[in-house]
Amino acid sequence: MQNKMIFFATIMLALFLMACSLLNQFHPPGDVIKTVLPSPVPSNTKATQVCTVIVDHLNLRSGPGTSWGAVAILSNGDIVTILSEPEPGINWVNVRAHGLEGWINQLYCKETR
């Protein structure tokens, strides 16, 4: 009887160690798990206006707001294509610049067309 219990405990321990090993292959200890959120879909894609950046450093962001990460930094004089008009009361516009698509605050961009 005691041999069966030792055998059972050994099997359980081996299974536990294999499960831990498999889990570590997917997410090693200390690994940061990143969540990627989808970019918002512009509500109006008919706009084909352009504007010129009027500040030295303007973040081109992955979404409409400062909580979204920057995908590039635009410089004073850069010309961007406006892909969508901002929603009423919101200053963020979807733009394309240097082959990248993102969002900027329209307060820092002067429309040129």
Asked if pLDDT for residue 3 goes beyond 90, the answer is: no
Span 39-84, pLDDT tens digits: 555 555 454 689 999 999 999 999 999 999 999 999 999 999 999 8
Task: Indicate whether 74 belongs to any domain.
Answer: yes
- Phi, psi angle pair for 74, to nearest 5°: -95, 155
Q: Where does residue 7 fall: left (phi above 0), alpha (psi -120 to 50 degrees), or beta otherwise?
A: alpha
pLDDT category at 27 given cuts 50, 70, 90 is: very low
Asked if residue 51 lies in contact with residue 111, where contact means CB atoms within 8 angstroms, the answer is yes
Residue 112 and residue 41: Cα distance in Å, rounded?
24
Task: Indicate whether 28 belongs to any domain.
Answer: yes
Task: Indicate whether 40 belongs to any domain.
Answer: no
Task: Indicate whether 55 belongs to any domain.
Answer: yes
The count of structural domains within the chain is 2
